Amino acid sequence: MRRVIRFRDLGREDVGLVGGKNASLGELITALGPAGIRVPDGFATTADAYRELLDTGGLRERIAEHVGRLHEGAPLPGVGAAIRSAVLATPLPAALERDVLEAYGHLARGAGRTDPDVAVRSSATAEDLPEASFAGQQETFLNVRGPAALLDACRRCFASLFTDRAIDYRERMGFDHLSLALSVGVQLMVRSDLAGAGVVFTLDTETGFPGVVVVSAAWGLGETVVSGQVDPDEYTVFKPVLKDHRLDPVVQVQLGAKRRKAVYGEDGSTTTVDTDADERARPVLGQGDIRTLAEWAVAVEEHYGCPMDLEWAKDGITGGLFLVQARPETVQSRRHGEVLRRFQLTGTGERLVDGIAVGEAIGAGPVCALAEPVGLERFPQGAVLVTGITDPDWEPLMKRASAIVTDHGGRTSHAAIVSRELGVPALVGTGTATEVLTDGQEVTVSCAEGAEGHVYRGPVAYEATETDLGSLPTTRTKVMLNLADPGAAFRWWRLPADGVGLARTEFVVAHQVRVHPMALLHPERLSAGDRRLVEELTYGYPDRADYFVDRFAHGVARIAASRWPDPVVVRTSDFKTNEYARLVGGAPFEPVEANPMIGWRGASRYYDPGYREGFALECRALRRARDELGLTNVVVMIPFCRTPEEADRVLAVMADNGLTRGANGLRVYVMAEIPSNVLLADRFAERFDGFSIGSNDLTQLTLGIDRDSGLLAHVFDERNPAVTKSIESLIAAAHAAGRRVGLCGQRPSNDPDFTRFLVRAGIDSISVTPDSFPAVKCAVAEAEREG
């Protein structure tokens, strides 16, 4: 009988012998170690060793007896406690003790240390299989030192196969408790208590988008990230440019609060302590480490042939990175990609709490606020679970919840992982949910509005729809998307769109930058209050211009990554002066206009001394997205360009800031929303590579109607012959000059007849909101069939 096997002698085919975790560690060492992936050395006990323990002193029969009591209605806590007590009271077989201590001695000699500190982890033999993820069901013990402590940790690992949460999970999944076995993995500790640790997924965990690697990181030992005790940093890495070391593949950096970290205690145990202000403000990982982890993750994914969920740790003494666990991702990778299920709020309500949205669904019910797990009889089916953080002990309650809301945790916390598996919407990292939400209060939890989710007071109406994407027709006319929120861009990757016809940067500026760009460059013109707010927002940026460039570039890059390599048309900022003034520090830089809709907006701002420096920051950010982050599918579009001469001035400013039309394949489009764009289409075509019709503004300026006027709403009509003739004229002139024409207005989403008109006129593309994409795609196909 083989009771103990070194990791280096294991492979992924040994799941039945040592469980998923330990088999994967062996696979990483043997198959990927030569490629530079580092895994701490260790060994594992076998399933045969566990079964030998069960055959000691009648342990198997006692466990079977207690499981029988459970099936007869005995309470789970009593049954679980009895089984664990029986396992702990049964001595380890002498041969197993001998083999474990002998392997520990070999490990110590290899590490050059006496009694090295090790991590002792449980690995069930059915764990991490695609059909049954046992993540977090059994125990892990860190910083275990010396033979006696190691043997005790092994006993506790064996007993943890029968924690209440593990028993409950197997009951739900239909596993026979005695048909499984448990392997104990013993692995050299990485001193991440002096550095940091976290997890890596080889897809976006919320949407299943496969084009990115998502790295989460916190200070100290990695248990705080997995357990949800901290809000970690999150780095999103774009896979297609990862191998080109001339490019920066990190398309998003989101710094977490990181208020706590797990470290070694004085007595050799682990403890959790507060982080300091510098740690909370500083990223855990630098660019080099992020790239290394992403490259390792992609290599592991390619080797396994499926999306992966990895854990990593950084040694604070040597600075070395290590992978400490690897398992297949078992939630998003199992979703059927042909069906798009969409939730949408149809009512409104008062927002009570905001947090990180996990999943894309909506749930509602009475709040059940708990500080610790309770019996199932005290948690109503369909209640909204509200608590500080969760761990595996909460899972019996979580499966009964209509939604989950926690104060702490990030996208890779326990609450997030389990809620995805259960298909339950969750808001994590809210900070204040347990203070704001009261027991019994009726609420609606929405994760269907992008990266940020919300809790609303009372029941708010919503609907759920399903679309069979495989049934959508193909069309000659390109159907593209209108997007604004980078946090929601990945949600729509399964839509068979032809790219993004309009990416609105106003959302990025208003929600991710928040500060008027001129206020970053000229803080001396700000009030004392605005200066303090700018200092808070830009903390960590010695050059505040870099803050704008980073936020803007990452927002654009995330949208562009979601549709790579299809074109993504990014419109430069098109706020009106009253909207710019509402940004932090904006008022001193904006005039008060009687009619901002036809005032100082779009192209006229970009070369004007009053905003030219701000536009230069936009250019720097767009250049970074294209030339440094590698998103060369970004097409730049200039809005509200009144004359060809104005176009020349804007293109000159762009070139001065490194955005030269034609360089590195850069295409520059112009919005066609002013009658002059139509009347002088041939001259605009000499300066731009394409047109995008903004039907709202074109209708407004053609008919002389304020599009926001309720009194004139009955006259405002994109189908007015003056407007439709302008559109036909523009398309003909643009095509004569070899230029493409698209339309990015709302009308095709609501009016199939207008869509038919556009197709008959020869439009090259129609860009619509994602929720209306299926209907418009079908309408375009029908119009093409009609000829």
pLDDT tens digits along 739-776: 999 999 778 887 899 999 999 999 999 999 888 899 89
Would you say the C-alpha torsion 105, 110, 112, 118 has a positive or negative sign?
A: negative
Which residue shows structure tokens 């890059």?
557
Query: And the tokens for 247?
Result: 């490019």
What is the per-residue pLDDT for 164?
87
pLDDT tens column, 502-536: 999 999 999 999 999 999 999 999 999 999 999 99
Do 447 and 754 meet the contact criterion of CB atoms below 8 Å apart? no
CA 585: distance to chain centroid? 30
What is the per-residue pLDDT for 711?
86
List all residues 6 or more positions away from 524 whose beta carbon is below 8 Å from its beta carbon. none
pLDDT tens column, 251-274: 999 999 999 999 988 776 789 999
Give the SS3 label for residue 752: helix
What is the per-residue pLDDT for 749?
82
pLDDT tens column, 418-476: 888 788 999 999 999 999 999 999 999 999 988 889 999 999 999 988 888 889 999 99
Q: Tell me the one-letter amino acid at 219.
A: W
pLDDT band at residue 337 using 50, 70 and 90 as cut-offs: low
pLDDT tens column, 226-255: 777 888 999 999 999 999 999 999 999 999
Return d(Cα 224, Cα 233) in angstroms, integer: 12
* Residue 295 CB-half CA count within 13 A: 19
Q: What is the mean pLDDT of residues 568-596?
A: 96
Question: Is 133 a residue whose pLDDT tops 70?
Answer: no
β-strand pairing of 634-638 with 233-238: unpaired
Using a pLDDT cut of 70, give the percent of the chain over it. Answer: 97
What is the per-residue pLDDT for 395?
80
> Among residues 201, 52, 212, 220, which one has the least CA distance to residue 135?
201
- Which of 82-86, 137-141, 343-347 has the weakest average pLDDT? 137-141
* Residue 326 CB-half CA count within 13 A: 30
How confident is the prediction for the chain on average, in pLDDT? 92
Return d(Cα 650, Cα 396) in angstroms, integer: 61
| Alpha carbon separation from 45 to 12, 21, 154, 552 (Å, rounded) | 15, 12, 9, 51
pLDDT band at residue 129 using 50, 70 and 90 as cut-offs: very low
Question: Is 354 a residue whose pLDDT tops 90?
Answer: yes
What is the per-residue pLDDT for 588?
97
Sheet arrangement for strand 233-238 = 250-254, 233-238, 212-219, 196-201, 308-314, 321-328
Active site residue 336: no
Question: Is 703 a residue whose pLDDT tops 90?
Answer: yes
Query: And the tokens for 646?
Result: 């104005």
What is the per-residue pLDDT for 126?
60
Q: What is the mean pLDDT of residues 139-168?
A: 92
Give the SS3 label for residue 701: helix
Q: Write down the catalytic residue from 66, 414, 454, 516.
A: 414
DSSP E strand stretches across 410-558: 426-428, 442-446, 452-457, 462-468, 478-483, 500-504
Active site residue 744: yes
List all residues 6 or more positions away from 43 whose beta carbon is below 8 Å from its beta carbon. 4, 5, 6, 7, 103, 104, 106, 107, 185, 186
Angle subtended at Cα 81 by Cα 76 and Cα 84, rounded to the nearest 5 degrees: 125
Return d(Cα 190, Cα 193) in angstroms, integer: 8
Inter-helix orientation angle 59-71/47-54, to 10°: 80
What is the per-residue pLDDT for 584?
97
DSSP code, position 510: I
pLDDT tens column, 477-506: 999 999 998 988 998 999 999 999 999 999
Q: What is the mean pLDDT of residues 126-140?
A: 53
CA 307: distance to chain centroid? 15
Q: Of the segments 332-341, 367-376, 596-605, which one has the largest average pLDDT value?
A: 596-605
Q: What is the mean pLDDT of residues 286-309?
A: 96
What is the per-residue pLDDT for 128?
43
β-strand pairing of 500-504 with 568-571: parallel
pLDDT band at residue 206 using 50, 70 and 90 as cut-offs: confident
What is the per-residue pLDDT for 127?
46
Would you say the C-alpha torsion 58, 61, 67, 71 has a positive or negative sign?
A: negative
pLDDT tens column, 671-680: 999 999 999 9
What is the per-residue pLDDT for 16?
87
pLDDT tens column, 30-72: 999 999 999 999 999 999 999 999 999 999 999 999 999 999 9
pLDDT tens column, 173-197: 788 898 888 999 999 999 999 999 9
First to last CA, the chain: 75
